[in-house]
Amino acid sequence: MKTRPFATALGFIAIALILSSAAVSQDGSQDTQPAKVVVSPEKLEIKVGESAQLTAKVLDKNGNELQTPVTFFSLSRRQLTVTREGQVTATRPGEFSVLVMPASAGGRRSARGTGTGRGNSNPLRVTIPVKVAFPPVTEVSLTTNTAKLYAGLSTPMQLSVKDEMENDRNDVNVSYESSAPDVAEMDPFGNLVAHKPGRFTITATAENVTGTFSGEVVALPIKSFKLEVSETTARTGDVLNLKAIVTDADGNEVPDLPITYAFTQDRQGQYTSYGGAGQIENSGRFVAEVPGAYTLIAQCGPFGAKADVEITPRNVQRRLEVVGRGAVTDTHTSDLWVWEGVDGRDYAVTGTWGANGDAHFFDVTDPENIRRVSTVTVDARTVNDVKVSEDGRICIISREGASNRRNGIVIYDVSDPTQPELLSEFNDNLTGGVHNLFISNNHVYAINNGTSYDIINIDDPRNPRRVAEYELETPRHAVHDVWVVDGLAYSSNWANGLHVVDVGNGIKGGSPANPELVYSYIPPNVAHHAAFPYTSSQTGKKYVICGDERFPFGLSTENSPTIAGGYLHFVDVTDPENCREVARYEVPEAGSHNYWVEGDILYAAMYNAGVRVVDISGDLMGDLGRQGREIAQFKSFDHEGYIANAPMVWGPQPYKGNIFFSDWNTGLWCVRLSEGRR
């Protein structure tokens, strides 16, 4: 067999070239390139306030040390300070990491570099775990708010454990010991159980640090125990007030006893599996959700009393009938506003969502014959909100998704709604989009990029000017809506809840240019979306309804219905220093959006559950829907809707005896409560 030298040589050249190419291209580096970073120590354990030094060396793939500098980073900057040279200082306890990166020259060059692909997918880096121990416990204390400890009763105790850095420590084991267990001792739930009269000391121990509570148990001074109830008959949803009258041997009332209230109900079999038939508070307030005979109970230790009441159905149900429509089925519809025009006729304006930037104006003077009289188009994808000034002359349109990304608001003269006249645009620093707005007293309150609400003076609507902005300070704050009544601005701030701000009411000396916080409240659910204040005409109590907006199954913008979530929270703000959530209105498998109160009636847009009319007269407590307070409901089905047969009611507005509402999929509707029962 003969060989061919030329071919052989060429073959070797080819192989050499291949190998050479592979050697370079596989890792893009020479032997002297960094291949490994060795950090010492491999892990750290330090205490808060202590520092430690990390050192690192860089090795090539043969294990030779290179003179390559290394850079250190903290992956938890707020807890662990790390200099670029590797000095680690702990500021908070916990488990953290330090990133170590060689600062090698060169690096891998790829043919990419275009943002469209990737070259080296595994840069040389090391992370070092750092464990920072909690500082030692230094203080244990045990207290109670109860003035007297009575034999036979349990009292909740407040335990506080703090460490050297004043951290509250809930992670340490605490043991209790009583000096007189037959007098008093702690139960596993943190309550002090008083057995009999006598003195005692409880010692709480955590990490060998102790705290003590000394007290005296006295005998229950009860001679007489009676129960008074405000009414013996009531309707579902009516709140009854219970009061235990406790007197001692001298006939004096004993005021500070812990009273437990409870109830039983004879359901006579018709409410099997219903769950709770009512609700009762330790303050003595009781409300029934279903009709029937109830036994109300008050109890204190071995003493007790009971009273019977009869609850009847509320019977408020009526029917809603359609009066007229201003159908919009080619796009989603957003908010609405209905007003009496300067010409004495009645008009409505609606926005559009995820569309072309349209706002539609309707003549609704004859609600049985609603006519669209004009449409304005602004540079936006969503006109989420539309509002008209008190005098009916100025309409403000919000913009999101503008093609030029300037967004902001657009101001129209709607003295003649058939021919709205563009007066001005205002987008200075409102480029992030305005989702909601309100007009009050020649000022526009515009939600700015979900960050703040900006207050814009429109004394001269052709030359609007910003006079103030109101922004929370809490981390990750975001604001969704603002509503202004009587000089108070009610803003809805998702997880940060409700802020009520004086913008001219005077209670805090505020003005539009000088907004001052009056009070705040955070409902549960971290989904606070809109607020509406009202005062009960019967009780004089002041409430703010705080609504959720949630889409637990997502929002379907095309083709299929959406199932929303969330409900309305009724917050008693009569005492602004002690705001208290007392009731809710919830529709199962539906969610709340906008709402309006007129008289003692709530008009609520409940998205896929349609528009709901709810009796909110009298004192409020518990689940209003389950109490039979719902007067009427209407679901805006339309097989020609933008999404067919998918009611999605956005916002209602009662107006001159009718109820106007906008529906996301079908546009403007007008309905009316009929006299007939549902």
Q: Which of residues 101-130 bind another protein (CB under 8 A)?
A: 101, 103-104, 106-123, 125
Query: Smallest Cα–Cα separation from 583: which of 614, 621, 618?
Result: 621
For residue 41, whether the previous peptide bond is cis, meaning omega lies within 30 degrees of 0, is: yes
Q: Which long-range contacts (CB under 8 A, 24 or more apart) does 142-145 make?
A: 142/202, 142/204, 142/211, 142/212, 142/213, 143/213, 144/192, 144/213
Q: H or E stretch including 127?
A: strand 126-133
| 46-58 CB burial, b ≥16 within 10 A, e <16 | bebeeeeebebeb
Side chain identity at residue 555, one-letter code: L
List 236, 279, 374, 452, residue binding another protein (CB under 8 A): 452
List 450, 487, 561, 576, residue binding another protein (CB under 8 A): 450
630-669 positions binding another protein, by CB under 8 A? none
Does 25 contact another protein by CB under 8 A?
yes
Does 451 contact another protein by CB under 8 A?
yes
Does 473 contact another protein by CB under 8 A?
yes
**Reduced to 3 DSSP states, what percent helix, strand and coil does the chain have, rounded to the nearest 5?**
5, 50, 45
**144 vs 520, beta carbon nearer another protein:** 520
**476 vs 639, beta carbon nearer another protein:** 476
Q: Read off φ and ψ for residue 523, nearest 5 degrees.
A: -70, 165
List 38, 46, 59, 71, residue binding another protein (CB under 8 A): 71
503-532 positions binding another protein, by CB under 8 A? 513-517
**26 vs 170, beta carbon nearer another protein:** 26
Q: Residue 347 Cβ, how far from another protein at the closest point, in Å? A: 24
Report yes or no: 629 and 615 within 8 Å, Cβ to Cβ: yes
**92 vs 319, beta carbon nearer another protein:** 92
Q: Residue 9 Cβ, how far from another protein at the closest point, in Å? A: 9
Distance from C-alpha of 398 to C-alpha of 161, rounded to nearest angstrom: 51
Tell me whether residue 364 is exposed, middle or buried, using C-beta atoms within 10 angstroms of its C-beta: 0 to 12, 13 to 18, 19 or more: buried
**179 vs 449, beta carbon nearer another protein:** 449
List 32, 36, 47, 81, residue binding another protein (CB under 8 A): 81
Q: What is the DSSP letter of 369?
A: G
Q: Which two tokens stand for residue 368?
A: 């049985």
Distance from C-alpha of 127 to C-alpha of 132, rounded to nearest angstrom: 16
List 215, 357, 533, 625, residue binding another protein (CB under 8 A): 357
**111 vs 147, beta carbon nearer another protein:** 111
| Site string (369-408) toward another protein, x via CB under 8 A | --------x-xxxx-x---------------xx-x-x---
Of the listed pieces 94-102, 176-184, 388-396, 576-584, which binds another protein according to CB under 8 A?
A: 94-102
List 53, 55, 64, 87, residue binding another protein (CB under 8 A): 87
Does 61 contact another protein by CB under 8 A?
no
545-604 positions binding another protein, by CB under 8 A? 549, 551, 554-555
Does 83 contact another protein by CB under 8 A?
yes
Q: Length of the chain, please?
A: 678
Distance from C-alpha of 101 to C-alpha of 95, rounded to nearest angstrom: 20
Q: What is the DSSP letter of 550?
A: B
190: left (phi over 0), alpha (psi -120 to 50) or beta: left
403-432 positions binding another protein, by CB under 8 A? 403, 405, 428-429, 431-432
Of the listed pieces 4-12, 35-43, 259-267, 654-662, which binds another protein according to CB under 8 A?
A: 4-12
309-348 positions binding another protein, by CB under 8 A? 331
Q: Residue 530 Cβ, how far from another protein at the closest point, in Å? A: 12
